Amino acid sequence: MHLHGTYYRTIWPHPEDPGCVCTFDQRRLPFELVVEELRSYRDAAAAIREMHVRGAPLIGSTAAYGMYLAGLEARREKDPEKLLENALQELAATRPTAVDLFHALDRCRNVVEAGLPLPVMAEQLRELAGQIADESADICRRIGEHGLPLIRAIAARKPAGEPVRILTHCNAGWLACIDYGTATAPMYLAHQHGIPLHVWVDETRPRNQGARLTAFELGQEGISHQVITDNAGGHLMQHGLVDLVIVGTDRTTRRGDVANKIGTYLKALAARDNDIPFYVALPSSTIDWRLTDGLADIPIEERSEDEVHYIEGWTGSELHRVRVSPQGSRAANYGFDVTPARLVTGLITERGLCPPSEEGLLGLFPEKAQQTSTP
Residue 366 φ then ψ, to 5°: -65, -25
Q: Which of 246, 270, 291, 354 binds a copy of itself (CB under 8 A)?
A: 270
Q: Which is nearer to a copy of itself, 155 or 236 (CB)?
A: 236
Based on the shown chain and the rule CB under 8 A, indicate whether residue 297 belongs to the binding site for a copy of itself: no
Among the residue ranges 38-46, 75-83, 99-107, 313-321, the one whose residues contact a copy of itself (CB under 8 A): 313-321
- Taking residues 320 to 349 in sequence order and writing x for each that binds a copy of itself by CB under 8 A, - otherwise, the string is xxxxxxxxxxxxxxx-xxx-----------
Q: Work out whether 215 is an interface residue with a copy of itself (CB under 8 A).
A: yes
Q: Do residues 204 and 167 lie in contact, with contact meaning Cβ atoms separated by under 8 Å? A: no
Residue type at position 346: G
Q: Is residue 3 at the binding interface for a copy of itself, with CB under 8 A as the rule?
A: no
Torsion of CA 267, 158, 199, 195, to 10 degrees: 140
Largest CA distance in the chain: 69
Residue 48 phi/psi, 5-degree rounding, is: -75, -50
293 as an active site residue: the answer is: no
Alpha helices per DSSP H over 3-79: 41-49, 56-74
Catalytic residue, chosen from 243, 250, 257, 297, is 250
Smaller CB separation from a copy of itself, 12 or 31: 31
Q: Which of 190, 134, 130 is nearest to 348 (CA)?
A: 190
240 touches a copy of itself by CB under 8 A: no
Q: Which range touches a copy of itself (CB under 8 A), out of 48-56, 107-115, 224-232, 357-365?
A: 224-232
Asked if 45 contacts 62 with a C-beta cutoff of 8 angstroms, the reply is no
Sign of the CA dihedral with 37 first, then 41, 45, and 46 last:
negative
Q: What is the set of active-site residues?
A: 250
- Enumerate binding residues for a copy of itself (CB under 8 A): 30-31, 200-201, 203-206, 208, 211-212, 215-216, 218-219, 225-236, 238-239, 261-263, 265-267, 269-270, 273, 295, 300, 308-316, 320-334, 336-338
